[in-house]
Amino acid sequence: MKFDKPVDISWVADFIHADIIGNKQGQATGINEIHKVESGDIVFVDHPKYYDKCIQSAASFIIINKEVSCPEGKSLLVTASPFEAYQQLVNYFRPFIPSLKMISDSATVGTGSVIMPNTYIGNQVSIGSHCIIHPNVTILDHCIIGDEVVIQSGTVIGSDAFYYNRKTNRDLQYQKMKSCGRVVIQDAVEIGAGCTIDRGVSGDTVIGSGTKIDNLVHIGHDTVIGKNCLLAAQVGIAGATEIEDEVILWGQVGVSKTLTIGKGAVLMAQSGVPSSLEGGKSYFGSPALEAKEKMKELVWVKRIPEIWQKLSDLIK
């Protein structure tokens, strides 16, 4: 999430009751989580395992629960509860504001776009020109829809990220990390019926121009899907994943989090993707392997009973 204007880091420190180590004159331009940080961003960390990753990231300001060495030019905001401090900032800069109208007064709809009955459009939503939004679609706060986009019935754009902070030393071990990001859908995208696309935790979930999405597809928070991709029914993509241009995911493909599928890759139906894949190749299976190699493997697996029988006969 980007702030409307830069914020003095000294104000942030006072607001979350933190001590500043390092640069005390900096200005923060937004809040982000570790997978998406840019220069000027605030990020939080509350586990030693991730201290170094956060401190060495592009983030300029790190909310942390221990005083450690601070790189030149950066700021550490030391507080006992970094997660709670992050939540304070989200609540302040992007508070929940109910909209009780089907189309919020702050939403904008471009020329020639058709909004069918029972569609809900939240606060600060922007819809481009010549779009068709079918009945019972929900587009939640701050989402951006480009030109010539088609969204079929029952789809939800901008639901909260499935993202929780876990601590075993509290009764409620899983505490929700409030979502302040957006969904950005670029031009000429088509989205089928009953799809769910989660907003970013603090950044953007992006669907690239020309991409076509079938029914019952789920796309997790902060995922970036490139241009001219094809996603068939029941595909599921976890958070903070990058799908490059012209990728095809056939039915029921499952993609894990924080990985990259390269340009032009094709995943055959029911494949599972646990790690990054090179572009320009076809894959199959779970875990997904190059299709031609997986097919050879399946042939040999099918022959195991025959080979076992031959070995047994030799032993007799």
CA 3 – CA 16 distance, rounded (Å) = 17
Active-site hit among 35, 142, 218, 221:
221
The HSE-up count of residue 206 (CA atoms within 13 Å, CB side) is 18
Q: Is 19 helix (H, G, I), strand (E, B) or coil?
A: strand
Vertex 228 angle, CA 222 and 294, to 5°: 85
Report helix angle 9-16 to 82-93, nearest 10.
110
Question: Contact, 35 vs 240, CB < 8 A?
Answer: yes
Question: Contact, 219 vs 200, CB < 8 A?
Answer: no
CA 196 – CA 313 distance, rounded (Å) = 56
Instruction: Enter the tokens of residue 120.
Output: 């809900």
Catalytic site includes residue 221: yes
Vertex 72 angle, CA 70 and 75, to 5°: 55
Vertex 243 angle, CA 234 and 212, to 5°: 55
Q: Which active-site residues does the annotation give?
A: 221
